[in-house]
Amino acid sequence: MAIAMGWHKPDNVAGSSAPAIMVGLFVASGGLLFGYDTGAINGILAMDEFKEKFGTCNNQTINDDICAKDSALIVAILSVGTAVGALLSAPAGDTLGRRQSMLLAVAIFCIGAICQVCAEASPALLVGRCLAGIGVGAVSVLIPLYQSEMAPKWIRGTLVCAYQLSITIGLLSASIINIITSKLKSSAAYRIPLGLQLVPALILTAGLILLPETPRFLVKKGNKEAAGLSLSRLRRLDITHPALIDELQEIVANHQYELTLGPDSYKEIFVGSPHLGRRTFTGCGIQMLQQLTGINFIMYYSTTFFGGSGVDSPYTKSLIIQIINVVSTFVGVFVIESWGRRKLLIVGAIGMACCQLLMASFAAAAGESLKEASTTILIVFCSINIFFFAASWGPVAWVVTSEIYPLKVRAKSMSISTFSNWVLNFGIGYSTPFMVGSGPGTAGFGTKIFFIWGAFCILAVFFVWAMVYETSKISLEQIDEMYERVDHAWNSKRFEPSWSFQQILDEGWSPSAQPPPDHELQTTPSQSSADTTLGDSNSVTIQMPHGGHHGDGNEITTASSDENKESIPTMAHVDFSY
C-alpha cells in the first residue's frame, strides 16, 4: 500500500515520503482498538454463554437474556469513556506531546481490556469498558492529530484515512473471531475475543517508543532545533536542505503569526481568528453527522438486529457487512486526494440517504407474504449503505477535523469535535435498543429507524455544501490563509495560495496580502526564507498591524540569516526521542 501511494509523489517534492508514509500507516493501526472493541461486543451480546453469565431478564428460555437497558449500558459505557478521553487528550497532547500521550492512552486501554477479560459480574465489565473507552477516545484525537502534523500535504488525507481503514479491519477481525468462539460452551466464548484486543495495543505501544514527535508540536513548544531534526527524519532530507528549511520556517512563521491573533485558550476556539468559531462548528458538525448517519447502529447491533428481523445466519451476514466495510474503505483511501473532501462527503451522504430511505420504505410496506423479500432487500441495501459510508464519511470526517484547525489550538479543537462524536455515539448506542426493540418500554421502530438516519444524511449534504472547505493539496498553514481569504465554503475549491506566512514576517504583509502602511511597519532588511536561520537571536521585529484580538503591542520575531550556519550544527545534538 505504501509503495502504491509512493508512486504518486509529485516530481517537485524533495526528499522521500517513505518514512512519513510508514510512520503514518503504523500509528493508524491504533484504529484497531476501537474497531475491534466495537465488533467484539456486537457478537458477544448474542452469545449464549455471555447471556448466561451477565443476563438479567428471565424469558423462561434455556438462558437468561440481556435486557434492553443492560445491553444498552454495556455498549454505551464505552462511549462515556471515549468522551472523557477525547477531552483529556488536549491537555495531555499539548503538555506531554502527541507521541507520549498516545502511549499513555494505550496503557489505559490495556488496563480496561484486562478488567473486561477478568470480569465475573457486570460492574467489573462496565468499569473495564469505561477505562478502555478513555484510551480509545484519547487515541481517536491523537492519532489523526499526529498523522496530519507529520505528513506531507500531498499524502496527508490518505494517511489519515488509513486510521478509519484500521477501524474497519478491527471490526472485521472481531467478526471472524466471534464466529469461531461463539461455538464454545464455556466463558472462553467471550473472554477470548475480549482478551485478543490486547494484541494490537501492545504492538502499537512497542512502535510508539521508537517514533519521533511531530515537528509542529516541537515548534509549538519552542524547540525549533528538535523540530528540524524530526522533519529531517520524516522527509529524509539533510537538515541544511533548502526545501526542509523552507517547510520548517513556514511552520514557525505560521505559529508565530497565529499567536498574534489571540492566545491558545479554549475560549479562542469559539471566538478567535481567523474564523475559529466557524471551524469549530464545522468540525463538531462533521463528527456528529458521522454518527447520525446510523453507521454504529449497524456496527453495534447488526448481529442481534438481523437475528430479530428474521435473517438466517445473522453472524454470517454481519461478517459480510464487515468485509464490505473494509474493501469499501480502500476506495476512500485512494480517491480522497483526487476527488477532494467535499465531493466525497456529498456523494457519500446522498448514497446513504437513498439506501436508508429505501430500506425503511420496503420494510414498512412489506407484509408477511413479503417477509423473505424484505429481509433480502434489508441486507442488500444495508451493504450498499456501508459502501457509501466506508468510502466517504468513515475516513473523511477524521481527515477534515485533523486539517481545519490552526496549530495553536489544534489539539483543543480536535478534542472538542471528537468529544461531540463520542457523545452522539453514546446516545445512539444507548437509545437504539429502546428504539428498535419490541418489548416493554421500547418504541418498536424496527427497520423504520432508517427513516431517521436517512433524514440526517439529507441534512449532511447541505451541511457539507455550506460549511466544509476543500482542504486537499494544500499545507496546514495554507488552510489558515484559505480561511482568511475565502468567505464561503462553496468557493474554496477555487482557492490558490498566494503568499506564505514567512512573507508576512519578512515583508510585514497583512492577512489580506496587502502591505501595511509604512508607519506601521518596523523592520530591518531580511534574507529570503530559504536562508533564514532556525535560531533565536539576532532577530527581526515586526509590528503586526491588527486590531481586535491583536492589540497594539503584538510583535513577531524572526531571525536573521547570519546565524544560520551557527545554529545548524547545534541541531545534531538534539535527542530524536522528542
Q: Summarize pLDDT for 197-228 with one digit per residue, the tens.
A: 999 999 999 999 999 999 999 999 999 999 99
| 121 touches 448 (CB < 8 A) | no
- CA dist., res. 393 & res. 341, Å (int): 10
Q: How confident is the model at residue 503 (pLDDT cuts 50, 70, 90)?
A: low
- CA dist., res. 210 & res. 19, Å (int): 13
Q: Which of 357, 347, 355, 360 is nearest to 460 (CA)?
A: 347
Q: Which of 102, 272, 121 is nearest to 187 (CA)?
A: 121
| 391 touches 136 (CB < 8 A) | no
Buried b (16+ CB within 10 A) or exposed e, 472-489: bebbbbbbbbbbebbeeb
End-to-end alpha carbon distance in the chain = 28
Q: Is the peptide bond before 314 cis (omega within 30 degrees of 0)?
A: no
Q: Which of 436, 435, 421, 327 is nearest to 34 (CA)?
A: 421
- CA dist., res. 436 & res. 323, Å (int): 25
Chain-centroid distance of CA 221 in Å reads 23
Residue with C-alpha cell 506566512?
A: 501
Q: pLDDT tens, 256-265?
A: 888 888 888 8
Strand positions, DSSP E, 264-367: none
Q: What is the CATH number of domain 15-211+267-467?
A: 1.20.1250.20
Q: pLDDT tens, 19-36?
A: 999 999 999 999 999 899
- CA dist., res. 246 & res. 205, Å (int): 33
pLDDT in the model for residue 304: 54
pLDDT in the model for residue 41: 85
Q: Enumerate the domain spans of the chain.
A: 15-211+267-467, 219-260+499-573
- CA dist., res. 554 & res. 541, Å (int): 10
Paired with 542 in beta bridges are 556
Q: pLDDT tens, 368-409?
A: 444 565 667 777 888 899 999 999 999 999 999 999 999 999
- CA dist., res. 552 & res. 543, Å (int): 8
Region at 343 (left for phi over 0; alpha for psi -120 to 50; beta for the rest)? alpha
pTM of the model: 0.80
